[in-house]
Amino acid sequence: MKKYKVIACKVLSKELYTIASKSKNQIDILWLQQALHDTPDKLRRLINEAIEKIENEDEKYDAILLGYGLCSKGTLGVKALKTPLVVPRAHDCITMLLGSKEKYRELFDSRDGGIYWYSCGWIDNALQPGKERYEKTYQDYVDKFGEDNAKYLMEMEQNWMQEYTCATYIRWKEFDDGRNKEYIEYTQECARYLEWAYEEVWGSSALLADLLEGRWDDEKFLFVAPGQKIIATNDKYIVGVKEDA
């Protein structure tokens, strides 16, 4: 049995807890708040601070695992100190939910319009595009800026959604005990409200399970030895390492 410390985005909480509960290894998880990919410099700082804090604790781990991909370049510059790091070769959490970077690329290339991804963790931890988000955001703007300004701000708020045409729910077999149902219905409601197409795709726990079980194939994972830091490779491997000068 190995002891691993995981630093992960909270949007993966339901999925990672499910996998960790079945792992042969001891898994301790530190959650960071959702939406840090919107502020990559802050994400990088918080991960490095978390690593430093873990290293200063009495409990020692065989490796520190990151529940992050490239994530808007927020993991670039993250450093391994005394304990090695292991990072999935992924652009973001969608790759981890789908199970591989190849599945992500296949789905991305097969669509003409933009896909907005929905999952259990995303729905639990952040308001997704749909009626609920629209009404809450609009009311927040009214409270802060008045109704006329709120209408203008909502027009600007909605502009980015024009590039999307489909609400896609990532379905895991582990949650087909009834838990998927409410999330599917929520995603369908969002799609109807936004006048987007709706679809489901089967995700997979395989990549995250391999991460927690220590099956770190070089095609799927980056091993960061002490004294190294994460860099972008701009190729199919997504991330690489260099010595931390």
Residue 151 lies in a domain: yes
Residue 96 lies in a domain: no
Residue 221 lies in a domain: yes
Report how many domains make up the chain. Answer: 2
Q: 213-225 pLDDT, tens per residue?
A: 999 999 999 999 9
Residue 48 lies in a domain: yes
Averaged pLDDT for residues 229-242: 94
Tally of residues, the chain: 245
* 209 in the same domain as 139: no
* 186 in the same domain as 210: no
* 197 in the same domain as 180: yes
HSE-CB at 196 with a 13 A cutoff on CA atoms is: 27
C-alpha to C-alpha distance for 209 and 220, rounded to whole angstroms: 12
Residue 70 lies in a domain: yes
Averaged pLDDT for residues 4-11: 96
* 131 in the same domain as 198: yes
What amino acid occupies position 179? R
* 211 in the same domain as 168: no
* 34 in the same domain as 80: yes
Range of the domain at 122: 101-202
> Which two three-digit tokens encode residue 221?
């994972």
Q: 129-154 pLDDT, tens per residue?
A: 999 999 999 899 999 999 889 988 98
Out of 4-18, 36-50, 153-167, least confident range? 153-167
79 DSSP assignment: B
* 107 in the same domain as 33: no
Residue whose tokens read 């795709």: 201
Residue 60 lies in a domain: yes
The CATH number for 227's domain is 3.40.50
* 228 in the same domain as 198: no
Q: 182-209 pLDDT, tens per residue?
A: 999 999 999 999 999 999 999 999 999 9
* 148 in the same domain as 111: yes
* 239 in the same domain as 191: no
pLDDT at position 163, please?
A: 86
Residue 73 lies in a domain: yes
The 3-state DSSP class for residue 227 equals coil
Residue whose tokens read 């410099």: 41
Distance of CA 51 to the CA centre of its chain: 19
Q: 28-85 pLDDT, tens per residue?
A: 999 999 889 889 999 999 999 999 999 999 999 999 999 999 999 999 999 999 999 9
* 116 in the same domain as 71: no
pLDDT at position 113, please?
A: 67
* 212 in the same domain as 166: no
Residue 152 lies in a domain: yes
